[in-house]
Structure 1
Amino acid sequence: MGASHGKLSADDLDFLLKETRFTRDEIVAWHSGFRMEYRRGFMSEKDFVHTYKRKFPDGDGVMLGNHLFRVFDSDHDGKLSFREFMFSVNVIHRGTKEERLDMAFKLYDINGDKKITKDEMTQINEAMLSLVGPIMETSAPEDELNPAIRTKRIFRQFDKSHKGFLLFEDFAEGIKGDPIISKLMLEDPAPRR
């Protein structure tokens, strides 16, 4: 999607006004903050993971941060442009449940083949648990803290036809019944305006 350099272009502003739920003033303010923090006009994966780790100081955000960067970097050029950043912020903070569900599926579908394997599910469960595990250790059943056991349980619930992988439809139906994934991926993080 290209890196943004210096001033926010009229094309980028118009595009973001059409494609996100942010106002002109909000986009300009986000751009100003983005440019102050990332003077090169883009966020590298290392920058993103560092920022993500600061947001979650009680957990290990490295693994999940790397996976989120993969999803947010929609053109896969190794750089998070301002447009890509705003799309991601839009989905997370103002997206519909369907948009967040699509993003969650892409997170789990590590290789992008439109299906989630048990190995992919285990990797993301491990990343999520490394982030929220310290918080959950006192309240979650022990088997919920083991990525492989969690994956087996999720596949039993989600893979109704026993294919050994999940398609988007399987995932969408099943995620609604999984409190951890649903809370992390589908709940509104902030009230809508």
Structure 2
Amino acid sequence: MSKPGYSGLTVLLHWVVAIAILFLFGISWWMMAIPYGEYRYLPFQLHKNLGMTLIALGLVLLIARFFPRPGALPPSTPRWMRRAAVADHVLMYLLIFVVCLSGMLSSAFSGWGTVLWWQVVLIPDEAARRWENEWLNTLFSDVHIYSSWILLALLITHVAGAVFHAFRRDGVARRMLRL
């Protein structure tokens, strides 16, 4: 029989992914505010590295979310609310990957190399210059930006739903908060 809440690993990954996404939004606003020059390198590299790390964390979270499966939602949860929760989760997972992959592809076609955590060269500068393609860079950059805003809107609905359930005291919020 499954427990009413999520596993400890799922809860930990949920909060790490949530914090990483918020941090990525913060970094993106910071890096866009910095004038062009050498000082933009650090926030861009940090943003790219966190995004690539988020892909791995997202995959592990997606797998951990289903093994073991959490218990069913309370019977008092209306059908429309169950469907909305499933849709919100599916779209959030999908958008996490779309945002990260489109960012990686935009970076790959930007003409700038990518080094994972300043250690592992994923795209050498020479290869990046050969792959440079302004049209593809712009395409994937636009996908990255617009899907980021949609993800942010879904995160807001997700938090609103959690707050709603916390006030309702129906046990749904406790599944992830472990209170």
When normalised by structure 1's length, the TM-score is 0.26
Q: Which has the higher contact order (CA 8 A, sep 6+)?
A: 2
Structure of higher CA gyration radius: 2
Give the structure with the larger helix fraction: 2
When normalised by structure 2's length, the TM-score is 0.28
